[in-house]
Amino acid sequence: MADLQITSVTKRFGETPVLNGVTLDIADSEFVSLVGPSGCGKSTLLRVIAGLETPDSGAVSIGGANVTTTRAADRNLSMVFQSYALYPHLTVAENIAVPLRMRQLTHLQRMPLIGGLLPGARGHRQSIAAAVNAATEMLEIKSLLDRKPGQLSGGQRQRVALARALVRDPAAFLLDEPLSNLDAKLRVQTRAEIAELHRRLNATFIYVTHDQVEAMTMSDRIAVMMGGEILQCATPEVIYEDPDDIRVAEFIGSPKINILPIERVGHQLQIFGRPLEWRLPPGSPQIMQLGLRPEMVHLTKRTPRLRGRVAHVENLGAEVFAHVMVDDGAMRVTLRASPAEQSMLVLGAEVGLGFNTRAAMIFDADGKRLRKIETMVGTAVEVA
């Protein structure tokens, strides 16, 4: 187990920049997710950490040692691939034993027939068999040991790939979208199992996913990547509640956060031409954006801040999501309501919407968070 430092790593494929100076510190036994839309460079970053890609500049160090130029085989990392990448010609037991055989046995000892006769090989073989046994027991795949990967289901292959990764005691585990080829039910189950595995092994995990739910549920910290940069790296709570960037706010959270344009007119703040009661400090920008999570928006009859018509209702049982068209149908606002309020949410009905100004997030036109203005707005409301 070890900590990892990634310092100003850049990488381009031909003319296309993929990583633009990524810096990330990962503490020992931390579970960090790299999350972002496809093509954001998260897999490339993982491959740079693994040693499968060489960065154009920057450094990677594991446990304090600079490994930027070290081969993948010598970095002592384990990796689980999206396609599982099991050796098709080996049985499950042999697949899991490969990392140990390659590292613990010498060339001669790996030879068929004579390998077994060499001094020391026997002890090594027994310890390898014991480690394979322990790994398969942990993942409950003991009954599959003699099968070939071609005879396994997707979920079973995934477990074998996990077992192959954790049969050793690596500095860190790298997981590249390991759940994306599983069906939805199995994904939820395996998600919990991987999180539990992390707690049990107390090892460093770096987990790449495009699925924000996986990142939110499993990680100690989430690094949201976009366009080859890490936009923000923080705990799931901070990422969700206090994003630095509008792209982070939009990527994390389902349904997506509502972004509404707001405008400064003199000292007053207006939304869709209607004045909000907030007063703005001098020097604030002209155009800003207001971020409202669906659960921050509520139905109200008295002095609504927004009015609109219900366009779509999704009843999930425990909660109801409604899409309301505001600004004469130009913008869509999603809100979360309780099932009790569903009677108000008739398609086409006009409803009033309110929101808590303290929870609202304000971003500038480029999407950077304007925390200073938010605090001032907050106090302004109290005064008002």
Residues that bind other proteins (CB under 8 A): 47, 50-52, 71-74, 77-79, 81-90, 98-99, 102-103, 164
* CB closer to other proteins, 150 vs 266: 150
CA gap 171, 165 in Å, rounded: 11
Q: To the nearest whole angstrom, how small is the minimum distance from the Cβ of residue 72 to other proteins? A: 4
* CB closer to other proteins, 4 vs 380: 4
Residues 6+ apart with CB under 8 A from 292: 257, 258, 260, 333, 355, 359, 360, 361
Q: To the nearest whole angstrom, how small is the minimum distance from the Cβ of residue 64 to other proteins? A: 21
CA gap 52, 48 in Å, rounded: 6
CA gap 326, 261 in Å, rounded: 12
* CB closer to other proteins, 103 vs 312: 103
CA gap 167, 176 in Å, rounded: 18
* CB closer to other proteins, 156 vs 334: 156
* CB closer to other proteins, 88 vs 266: 88
Cis status of the peptide bond prior to 255, with omega within 30 of 0:
yes
Q: Tokens in use for 149?
A: 């990967």
CA gap 264, 240 in Å, rounded: 27
Q: To the nearest whole angstrom, how small is the minimum distance from the Cβ of residue 176 to other proteins? A: 8
Place of tokens 């999570």: 293
**Residue 23 near residue 230, CB atoms below 8 Å:** yes
**Residue 293 near residue 330, CB atoms below 8 Å:** no
Backbone angles phi, psi at 347, to 5 degrees: -55, 130
What SS3 state is found at 80? Answer: strand
* CB closer to other proteins, 74 vs 146: 74
* CB closer to other proteins, 73 vs 114: 73
Q: To the nearest whole angstrom, how small is the minimum distance from the Cβ of residue 82 to other proteins? A: 7
Q: To the nearest whole angstrom, how small is the minimum distance from the Cβ of residue 110 to other proteins? A: 9
Q: To the nearest whole angstrom, how small is the minimum distance from the Cβ of residue 229 to other proteins? A: 24
Q: To the nearest whole angstrom, how small is the minimum distance from the Cβ of residue 54 to other proteins? A: 10
Q: To the nearest whole angstrom, how small is the minimum distance from the Cβ of residue 201 to other proteins? A: 17
Q: Tokens in use for 41?
A: 């460079």
From 166, 205, 206, select the one nearest 45 (Cα to Cα). 206
CA gap 280, 88 in Å, rounded: 65
* DSSP state letter for 235: -
* CB closer to other proteins, 116 vs 281: 116
